[in-house]
Amino acid sequence: MSTLNQPTERTRATSDWREPGFGHGAGLVAGREVSTRLRSKAFLITTGLLMLSVLVTVILSSVLGGTASGPTKVAVVGAASSVVTEPSGLESVPADDLAAAEQLLRDGEVDAIVAPTESVADAGFTAAAPGSAGAASAGLDVTVIGLDQAPGSIASALAIQPPTAIIDPAPADPLLAYFVAFGFGIVFFFAAITFGSTIAASVVEEKQTRIVEILLSTVSARQLLTGKVLGNSILAFGQIIAIAALAIVGLAVTGQRILLGGLGPSVLWFVAFFIVGFVMLAALFAATAATVSRSEDVGGVTTPVTMLVMIPYFLIIFFNDNPTVLTIMSYVPFSAPVGMPVRVFLEQAEWWEPILSLVILAATAALAVLVGERVYRNSLLRTGARVPFMQALRG
Amino acid sequence: MLELDHLTKRYGDRLALDDVSFTVGDGRLTGFVGGNGAGKTTTMRIALGVLSSDGGSVRLDGQPITAADRRRFGYMPEERGLYPKMKVLEQTVYLARLHGWTPAAARRNAIDLLERLGLGERLNDAVESLSLGNQQRAQIAAALVHRPEVLVLDEPFSGLDPMAVDTVQAVLADEAAKGAPVLFSSHQLDVVERLCDDLVIIAGGRIRAAGSRDALREQHGSNRWELLTAGDAGWVRDVPGVTVVSFDGGWALFETETDASRQAVLAEAVRRGEVVSFTREQTTLAQIFREVVQ
């Protein structure tokens, strides 16, 4: 460099070099995290297995769903028996009147009731698809009644297209609610554990190989941490989007109904909570990992963080039908990313509740990042024995 | 010029650095010598800004040093480290880019440097697959790829094979010749002695000696002299005020307390016949080191 001959003015005026800013360094660190992981066989194999299992699940549910045993039983009231014919695949169970039919339905003897629309209108059941009554122009005017959800498949099996009605309207199918809770839970749990431990491993790798000292002479601990969290977040979202896309395409190809209709708002909330929650956990994983110097010790030291993810996850899975537990869990920062979207799906949450919960989560995440960065910065150059947490915090 | 001014650092109750001050001049190769735990690494980490001091300051050309200045430092930590699974070139380019070089320029710098270090054939090999010597060369590349203007190298010669020692020596001399202040620490006193212009000796967190190598030698000069004559030198024993330490035919190593007795030996030697050489015994760095750290 010609500037070396003028030691009093150490500036580089060249188009090849620019004073690097915060984003430049963090971006490069994030880029390295992503490209390293994408080239890691372990990562590719795990992702492949995960996608394979999703595909297998989709195909199995298609195959098993197609071989449902026996004809579906329906109670027929009065003249409605004429519309339930053999080719429809339905078996009619005659009932004396609507009350008797309702008893059969509540007892689980039948899956639905087919009754003349005029008698249904008098009984005051909830119409599942208002305005479709006019469709039954040919023959008798009938309505198909389900217990807690619209008996769509039975209605469509009939030769004519009757309107449908429900006895006890439920906001959502409880089984579907369980699957939604389970789905959000497993996605968050899996992503947090996988990419959290990836961050932890990457922090310790840099510490163990001592390259962190070279890095710290160029970039700040904050840039390094930001880059790591950013890079692994991109990977986590990428993997989830890929899996979701595979599942949706798989369901569509195998001709299964995609039950995403009522999921829209809860999925959007889930994404928002996931992003903030993931940043919080990533900072905690990075900070705890930075206190040890060998990769063998990462598992032990990050266990408390793993527990923070695991316990709320199981609480949500087991108590998704308990509104009190669910309400509490939807405000606790570690379970909110799963709890609140589930409540939004179940329509249990007021409009302001997810916003409040997200603010709480964001505040906790900000605190986690501040504390995490401090512990991370103060531990990076201390090799050997594990750095006590309080000492790392004080610096 | 890099100036370290009254640095102190505590680790808990232990005072790791106690009022450490010295300068590294432009174009000067400055050797930094001390035993294990003397405070070399702590001092260098503070100079680099990877560690903060509890007192004192680091200045570059008279100005308090900034993060931007430090990015123009080339640093080789004592604990070597690169990403083991990353390719040599990729890794070197990555470090250059972190320092602010554009991708194209970073690549150019990296290839130039790696070829100069004899790693031209191994650009796309993972670091972990390289021999230890080549890993050390890659480490040097990591310290120099961003064209640093100040070098701070912690034990750059430790663990090197003789060929790599030569390479590193040449690189350091090269950088100093270009005007960069170069500070390097080493346990290998012979290497430091051969290479450095200036010397800083630290022990127990305190600077024990600092200055140019020649001045230090002068200061800690020995009172032993060597005489080599064509004939037998046994007569030296009889000169008053002289103690012969060692003697072999025409060669004698002796100690004198006064200039007069030394001159008497020389005069007598000249009177007796041929004097091949008459020199002061060379003080080695090892001797100076032992003397000042005690």
Taking all residues of chain B, what is their mean pLDDT, rounded to a whole number? 88
Looking at residue B218, what is its pLDDT?
Answer: 81
Judged by a CB distance cut-off of 8 A, whether residue B126 touches chain A is no
H-state helical runs in A41-159:
41-66, 98-107, 117-123, 152-157
Per CB-CB distance under 8 Å, the chain B contacts of A295 are none
Residue B95 has pLDDT above 80, yes or no: yes
Q: What is the mean pLDDT of chain A?
A: 78
Given A3, A10, A28, which is nearest B97 (Cβ)? A28
Residues B29 and B197 sit within 8 Å (Cβ to Cβ): yes
Distance from CA of B265 to the nearest CA of A (A): 50
Q: Which residue of B has its CA nearest to A208?
A: B81
Q: Are B105 and A17 a contacting pair at CB < 8 A? A: yes
Per-residue CA distances from A162 to A114, A137, A289, B194, B293 (Å): 9, 9, 62, 100, 101
Please name every residue paired with A73 in a beta bridge, in sequence order, or none if there are none: A91
Print pLDDT tens along chain A (395 aa): 333 333 334 445 567 888 888 888 999 999 999 999 898 888 889 888 888 887 887 777 667 654 444 567 778 887 777 777 655 667 777 888 888 888 888 877 787 888 877 777 666 666 654 444 444 444 567 777 777 666 666 666 665 666 666 665 555 566 767 777 788 888 888 888 888 888 999 899 888 888 888 898 888 888 999 999 899 888 888 888 887 788 778 777 776 655 555 667 788 888 889 889 988 999 899 999 988 888 888 888 889 898 888 887 788 778 877 888 889 888 999 889 888 988 888 888 888 999 999 999 999 999 998 898 888 888 887 776 778 877 777 76
Per-residue pLDDT tens for A65-116? 544 445 677 788 877 777 776 556 677 778 888 888 888 888 777 878 888 7
Among candidates A17, A212, A214 on the partner chain, residue whose Cβ is nearest the Cβ of B75: A214
Q: Specify whether the CB–CB gap between A325 and A301 falls below 8 A.
A: no
* Contact between residue A104 and residue A73 where contact means Cβ atoms under 8 Å apart: no
| H or E, element range at A114 | strand A112-116
Best to test chain B binding among A16, A212, A217 (most B CBs inside 10 Å): A217
Q: Do B179 and A32 touch (CB under 8 A)?
A: no
**A309, A193 in Cβ contact below 8 A?**
yes
HSE (CB half, 13 Å, CA atoms) of B78? 17
- Band (B18; pLDDT cuts 50, 70, 90): very high
**Closest Cα in chain B, distance from residue A231 (Å):** 15
CA nearest A219 in B: which residue?
B98
Phi, psi (degrees; rounded to nearest 5) at B84: -65, -35
3-state helix, strand, coil in chain B (%, to 5): 40, 30, 30
Rounded to the nearest angstrom, the gap between the alpha carbon of residue A52 and the centroid of all alpha carbons in its chain is 18
Nearest-neighbour CA in chain B from A199: distance (Å): 15
Residue of A16, A216, A219, A391 to mutate, testing the B interface (most B Cβ within 10 Å of its Cβ): A16
pLDDT digits (tens, 9 = 90+) for B26-40: 999 999 998 888 899
Q: How far is A311 from chain B (nearest CA, A)?
A: 35
Question: What pLDDT does A395 receive?
Answer: 66
Whether residues B50 and A217 touch (CB distance < 8 A) is answered with yes
Contacts of B178 in chain A (CB under 8 A): 1, 4-5
Q: Which residue of B has its CA nearest to A8?
A: B61
A382 interaction partners in chain B (CB closer than 8 Å)? none
Tell me how far apart the alpha carbons of residues B102 and B147 are, in angstroms, rounded to a whole number: 13
What residue in B sits closest to A20 (Cα-Cα)? B100
Chain B closest CA to A238's CA: distance in Å?
A: 23
Contacts of A394 in chain B (CB under 8 A): none
- pLDDT tens digits along B39-81: 999 999 899 888 888 999 999 998 998 888 888 899 988 877 8
* Torsion of Cα atoms, B139 then B145 then B147 then B153, to 10°: -10
A4 and B84: CB-CB below 8 Å?
no
Each residue's pLDDT tens digit, B104-160 = 999 999 999 999 888 899 999 999 999 888 888 898 899 999 989 999 998 888 877
Is the Cβ of B26 closer than 8 Å to some Cβ of chain A? yes
Question: Which residues in chain B touch residue A212, judged by CB atoms under 8 angstroms apart?
Answer: 81
Residues A214, B143: C-beta atoms closer than 8 Å: yes
**Subunit contact B60:A10, Cβ cutoff 8 A:** yes
Residues from chain A contacting residue B69 (CB–CB below 8 Å): 10
What local confidence, expressed as pLDDT, does residue A147 receive? Answer: 73
* Residue type (1 letter), A366: A
CB–CB contact B48 A217 (8 Å): yes
CB spacing of A381 vs B45 below 8 angstroms: yes
Contacts of A1 in chain B (CB under 8 A): 147, 149, 178
Q: What is the CA radius of gyration of chain A?
A: 29
Chain A residues near any Cβ of chain B (below 8 Å):
1, 3-5, 7-8, 10, 12, 14-20, 24-25, 28-29, 32, 36, 205-206, 209-220, 381, 383
pLDDT of residue A240: 80
Burial class (CB in 10 A: 0-12, 13-18, 19+), A155: buried
Which residues in chain B have their CB less than 8 angstroms from residue A210's CB? 77, 79-81
B35 min Cα distance to partner chain A (Å): 20
CA distance B229 to B208: 39
Whether residue B107 lies within 8 A of chain A, CB to CB, comes out as: no
Taking CB atoms and an 8 Å limit, are A16 and B105 in contact across chains? yes
Chain B environment of A36 (Cβ under 8 Å): 83, 85-86
Neighbours of A350 (CB within 10 A): 9
Q: What digits encode the pLDDT tens for the residues A111-146?
A: 788 887 777 766 666 665 444 444 444 456 777 777
Chain-chain contact of A381 with B50 (C-beta, under 8 angstroms): yes
The residue type at A274? F
Q: Which residues on chain A are in Cβ contact (under 8 Å) with B146? A: 218
CB B119 within 8 A of CB B90: no
Q: Does B294 contact A at CB distance below 8 Å?
A: no
Extended beta strands in chain B, E state: 2-11, 14-24, 29-33, 55-60, 63-64, 73-76, 150-153, 182-185, 198-203, 206-212, 224-229, 242-248, 251-256, 275-280
